[in-house]
Structure 1
Amino acid sequence: MSANEITWGDGAMKDFLGLEGKVAMVVGGGLGMGESTSVTLAEAGCDVAVVDIDRARAEGVAARVRETGRRAVAVVADAMDAGTAAGSVAEVVRALGRIDVMATIVGQAEWSTVLDVTEETWDLDHRRNLRYFFFYAQAAARAMVKAGNGGAIAAVASVSGLQSAPNHAAYGAAKAGLVNLVRTMGVELAPHGIRVNAVAPGTISTPRINEGPHRAAFEEKIRNSLIPFRRLGTTQEIANGLLFLLSDLAGYVTGQTLAVDGGFTAQFLLGAPREA
């Protein structure tokens, strides 16, 4: 069931989520998983700041948020530039008053064998999958601590950070670092009432994957039963995982990474893949 199919009824579900009237900042909120997350948080009752490197994308998603009846602001920033973190957070606070929850969805992988990884590839994958998260989460946490109302931060990690990631050495190492950083920040920020968690997507049907050169490889994974659900995940399913972690339903959850992967990491493949 997608967020658009949820029947909110008399508001009881929103009461469980505890997000009504809160302010959400979605970094990378203008496309794919970020767009789904921005709209889902709005439907759950949040005002939303859509942070994206592309102004048209950010403004387009902000317009979708306003269609739900919530406030929205588009913030244009290159998240890979750590120097934009404090300024982006300050812009959101000026526009919407505060930040209660933040989701970070920037990330991409270079494909390369261990023998072929270059220094440039290594640094790029760490900048766009790990380094940016720390500085944006740090800036948001500082604002939350100053406000004194607690908060929640949820990152998008990857199954490549939970187990070996052939041809993803730099990316997998960065995502594994993110998983560890979520644990550390979750523990350190708990006394301030701030929770920090992550979702680890499996293979998700995003615009980049659908249009990219590796679509055939992902479809092969499905044919070989490497994904028990035998389909790609959807951006809405990742948004739903982030919604849970940012909501009061996860009020006693911090430092955790939730795999949203169709069962991919739950299995031990003994021998040849089973037949379809």
Structure 2
Amino acid sequence: MAPTPYVHPAVDSTAVFKSDLFKGKVLFCTGGGSGICKAMTEAVMRHGASATIVGRNVDRLTQSAQELSKATGQECLAVQADVRHFNQLRDAVARAIERFGTIDFVICGAAGNFLAPINGLSVNGFKTVIEIDTIGTYNTIKATLQHIRASKGSYIHVSATLHYRGTPYQVHVSAAKAAVDATSAVLAVEEGPHGIRSNVIAPGPIGGTEGMDRLSPKGDAQQVVYPRLPAGRLGDVKDIANMTVFLFSDAANFVTGQVIAVDGGHEHLRGPSLPYPESVLDPNAVKHMIKPRL
């Protein structure tokens, strides 16, 4: 019998970082109403920060804000806004400033994705993902920049590893996230002299998230394929949250302009998640493996 690989467990940030690390700080997070970004927000709040979360679904956003406040003992403000529209983001930032007086940290996390080959992807579908991920990131930067300059704060952009190589059925998000990575690098260079840092977190396969569920093939693929990565397990939202806490902390004040993959080594062993070349030669042959759009 082959030896069993060692697996490091996911840990809470509070087991590593001081509980009052971000006391008096304020976070502004797009996409913070669910999934990875909600976990990132919760981690920052657990260390003393207040937060504003922004999204389109006001009911889910309001519920998430209540859950985050209850879990952390810190205040969380829910503000409805669509990141594709700058005026809405500008108003959301104004609400945050009115309530908290400052913004120290920004997470650009709003995103959209679904599986589709280029031949089956509509122009509008491609455009929508670019608008949410890339233009939404730029709009968030533009709306918050003067406040982050004032606080000498920091940005984290949530990206992906899909564009590091050609990933079938992911041209829209690959293009969008490549642009996000490039935008963060320019932001780091231009705004570094003003005291601002900008970095990217690129999550790998994170279990228990809507995105992982929708973008992985139906069936047992998640259980069969992903535990074979070097870390020996699927990622946990805590893994992304811990990197968030580190990058916003003073321990990372010499880290800027970086793209950091938090993927358990997945990228080194990654193959296509759908059968190749069957999935590109005959998309109908794999339609039963694809979940509804996000």
TM-score > 0.5 by shorter chain: yes
30, 33, 53: which one pairs with 1:30? 33
Distance in 1 (CA, whole Å) between partners of 2:203 and 2:128 is 20
Distance in 1 (CA, whole Å) between partners of 2:94 and 2:148 is 12
Deviations 1:118-141 (A, max 9, x none): 311210110121110011012111
**Which residue in the other structure is 2:89 paired with?**
85
55, 60, 63: which one pairs with 1:60? 63
Give the share of equivalent positions with the same residue, in percent.
Answer: 25
194, 197, 204: which one pairs with 2:196? 194
Distance in 2 (CA, whole Å) between partners of 1:211 and 1:112 is 16
**Which residue in the other structure is 2:268 paired with?**
266
Asked if residue 244 in structure 1 is aligned to residue 246 in structure 2, the reply is: yes
- Residue type of the alignment partner of 1:34: C
TM-score by length of 1: 0.85
Distance in 2 (CA, whole Å) between partners of 1:211 and 1:126 is 22
**Which residue in the other structure is 2:120 paired with?**
116
TM-score by length of 2: 0.80
Give secondary structure in 2 for the equivalent of 1:252.
coil
Distance in 2 (CA, whole Å) between partners of 1:181 and 1:233 is 26
**Which residue in the other structure is 1:21 paired with?**
24
Distance in 2 (CA, whole Å) between partners of 1:264 and 1:100 is 32
**Which residue in the other structure is 2:237 paired with?**
235
CA-atom RMSD, angstroms?
Answer: 2.4
How many pairs align?
261
- Residue type of the alignment partner of 1:88: A
Distance in 2 (CA, whole Å) between partners of 1:59 and 1:116 is 36
Distance in 1 (CA, whole Å) between partners of 2:79 and 2:220 is 33
Q: Unpaired runs of 5+ in structure 2?
A: 1-9, 272-294
Structure 1 residues 22 and 221: alpha-carbon distance in aligned structure 2, compared to 1, 3 A threshold: same
Kept in 1, the 8 Å contact 2:19–2:46? The answer is no
Kept in 2, the 8 Å contact 1:157–1:199? The answer is yes
Q: Unpaired runs of 5+ in structure 1?
A: 270-276
Structure 1 residues 213 and 248: alpha-carbon distance in aligned structure 2, compared to 1, 3 A threshold: closer
Deviations 1:115-163 (A, max 9, x none): 3333112101101211100110121112222xx2310010100011333
Q: CA deviation at 1:224?
A: 7.4
Moved more, 47-56 or 221-230: 221-230
- Residue type of the alignment partner of 1:96: F
Give secondary structure in 1 for the equivalent of 2:22.
coil
Q: What are the residue-to-residue correspondences of 1:172-183 with 2, within 5 Å?
A: 172-183=174-185
Q: CA deviation at 1:109?
A: 1.6
Kept in 2, the 8 Å contact 1:28–1:52? The answer is yes
- Residue type of the alignment partner of 1:84: Q
**Which residue in the other structure is 2:51 paired with?**
48
